[in-house]
Chain A
Amino acid sequence: MPRIGVFVCWCGSNIAGTVDIARVVEAAKDMPHVVYVEDNKYTCSEPGQASLRASVEEHELDRVVVAACSPRMHEPTFRKTLETAGLNNYLLEVANLREHCSWVHSDKDDGTEKAIDLVRMAVAKVAYHEPLYSLSFPVTKRAVVIGGGIAGIQAALDIADSGHEVVLVEKTPTLGGRMAQLDKTFPTMDCSACILTPKMVDAAQHPNITLMAYSEVERLDGYVGNFKVTVRQKARSVDIIKCTGCGICFEKCPSKVPNEFDLGLADRKAIYVPFPQAVPNKATIDREHCLYYTRGRCRVCERVCEAGAIVFDQEDELVEIEAGAVVVATGYEQFDHSVYGEYGYGKIPDVITGLEFERLVNASGPTEGKIKRPSDGKVPETIVFIKCVGSRDESKGVGYCSRTCCMYTAKHALQTREKLPGSRVLVYYMDVRTAGKGYEEFYKRTTEEYGATYVRGRVSRVYQKGDKLVVLGEDTLLARPTIVEADLVVLAMGMAANEGAGDLARLLGISYDQHNFLTEAHPKLRPVETNTAGIFLAGSCQGPKDIPDTVAQASGSAAKVAALLSRESLQTEAQIANVNQELCSGCLWCETTCPYKAISAKTITERVHGKEVTRTVAEVNPSLCHGCGACLPACRDGAMNLLGFTHQQILAEVEAVWR
């Protein structure tokens, strides 16, 4: 027979003000299996807890009901108290007399009646409580970082510096990501490559980092501490150990392809290194455009390669990595400009995006840093920047602010005025958002020192007229339409999630929002974790971010990973699903409802009437189960139960609503 103790808390006057504690105590004494009842001014205080501990011992209590505030507040506190009193910490039930009763009702009779009901329900439930235990399981001390942009590089370096192994997986042939394409960085005007490339080299040379460039994650199995990540190492057609990166192959290669790194403003060859500072500095053959792969002959690169590094029959390789944690740092894409037909992008060659402008002003870009029009190479005199293209525009399905465009447009305007002092720079804007250290000062310099003109209003249309671009807009401060004849129009494109972000999220079992940005576990308090334990986020895959925020989040993720990997073992949840295999018919409906892939089929052999019978039953993996209980209503046999919230316990609570 259970021996239940009930501890009713006054919470000062918080509960006692609306609930007649003495009546609750008297009522509790008559409840089934209750052998002891006491009340305390503050049960959570040290004297309150000490009294609870002493009473457990004195009255040989084996189950405890604390009638106090919400279990979401102090359940962990009282569980610890039980533990120190020598009881299993799951032999506790909390009746919520404060948030659900005294604070929402004012009539003392009503409040007391309800409080008695709540205590009775908790007593009825706790009678069915059984001791529960967590299992511990080991942690693989290795992390996989997906994405080799600045977020992934920073996270990998920080985790590696904390003494743990990291595998850095990058989809393209080189590290660097978007930041490598940028020219200068606001607000300090540091050269982007100058601050990024040393980090790329550090990452590649770090003794704890294994770099897997030109590779993609294909599968994720397992759970926190024990993931198995399957990575496809794509065939480069080049032996990266032999390749020296000398460049003779792409000098001689006859096949020209628009260079993705320069956004098509310049060409590369079919065998290529994306940009000179690429890490690893190894060639890759683009099989879609290589003459040998498309037409069956050429092999010039093979003939000229002195290292003998060309391997035409190289195949993709699947590599399995065991890891304890995963960081997702897959970055962003520029918003799809094709929905802005009114600005003529793609039809008018001199309407370019912000990222294309970065390549134009970059000293190692296609124009060697000279601002020239893509159409005729002419130096533009009037340049119009249009902000919020694919950002804060509900009509195009992007309600969110991309956060970076205000600042990079200010930077572009400043750079234009610096490089072309005679030019006229007009920036069409809705608002200027400069929330960041030194950002407002930078924007001020752009307008006041460098003389860029800001026009508040949106542009409705851009069209070609001769060799000029006519920009129709509105100055909402002066309340009049504007017509500008420009030479170059730059669209400050917003940031969008990667095209494959949703697929990746499903593959990893993490969630994503309506714009395909990956979702953090809590927007304020758990900004780098996902809802799947052991998987963390860094950078703009989670939402638009500038470089400082990206780096900060990457370091945050790394700190979380380091904390996880520094543990020897992890504990499973104690309140998890549990199969009664005697009742289970093996239909496995539970398996399909489980969001964590925690349920699998298991074959058991048993003796029935002297004969050996083999049958299938469901089995729960305690390391994967989160204890949601979705499998229970799906179970036709009543074989599945949820420890801590069993059918018997909940039905007992239902019954106890009526005395």
Chain B
Amino acid sequence: MAVTEHKTEGAPAVTPAGWQPKIVAFCCNWCSYAGADLAGTSRLAYPPTVRIIRVPCSGRISPRFVIRAFQRGADGVLVAGCHPGDCHYSTGNYYARRRFLLARRFIEYLGIEPERFWVKWISGSEGSKFAQVMREMTEAVTALGPNRKVREAE
């Protein structure tokens, strides 16, 4: 199998050629999930790397979901909600913002590159932003290579 060398801290890792990352995205129902729907209705292509999990509000997303996704082998995790001030439930995304500021530090502490964890505000009218974020994130995570740090035995 053809391999390309990939550099991370510590031991050099190898990334199989043609490897595609798997990204788990937690999207709030009212903005980001709708934004992803709009990307679809507008036929805006993005890499098939993302698996979207629908939640009512970004405020409902528990940091343990993010950690669990990394444990199971997610190469990237996205938390997406309404723009600050636009939360369908008025304040949920403010809680999300604070929680994930802390969660990001914890993820770093676990030894996972913080660049694997993204928090984005994507409104229901921002289909193109959703597609753009997915393209950028896929590119960034591909550059990092597979997440092996906290992955449990396969």
Residues of A within 8 A of B (CB): 70-73, 96, 98-101, 103-107, 110-111, 113-114, 117-118, 121, 511, 531, 575, 593, 595-596, 626-630, 632-634, 642, 645, 647, 650-651, 653-655, 657-658
Contacts and interface: CB of A to CB of B under 8 A. Distances in A.
A114 B92 contact: no
A121 B60 contact: no
B53 A121 contact: yes
Given A531-B90, A630-B89, A647-B62, A642 B56 contact: yes
Contact of A72 (B29, B63, B95): B29
Contacts of A657: 22, 24, 51, 69, 72, 74
Interface residues on B, range: 35 or more
A628 B40 contact: no
Contacts of B4: none
Contact of B51 (A73, A98, A103, A114): A114
B146 interface: no
A100 B59 contact: no
- Closest 5 A-B residue pairs measured CB to CB? A629-B60, A99-B40, A630-B59, A628-B89, A103-B40
Interface stretch (B42-50, B106-114, B115-123): B42-50
Contacts of A106: 45
B37 A70 contact: yes
Contacts of A511: 90
Given A630-B57, A654-B69, 17 more contacts: A70-B33, A72-B34, A96-B52, A99-B36, A101-B40, A104-B45, A595-B90, A626-B89, A628-B57, A628-B88, A628-B89, A629-B60, A629-B92, A633-B95, A650-B55, A657-B72, A658-B72
A386 B91 CA distance: 41
A114 B40 CA distance: 14
A654 B62 contact: no
B137 interface: no
A630 to B, nearest CB: 4
B39 A104 contact: yes
B46 A104 contact: yes
B89 to A, nearest CB: 4
A650 B65 contact: yes
Contact of B60 (A96, A110, A645, A655): A645
A633 B99 contact: yes
B72 A654 contact: yes
6 contacts: A96-B54, A103-B40, A531-B90, A628-B56, A645-B60, A657-B69
Nearest to A650: B65
B40 A100 contact: yes
A121 B69 CA distance: 13
B123 to A, nearest CB: 13
Given A628-B57, A654-B69, A658-B73, A633 B63 contact: yes
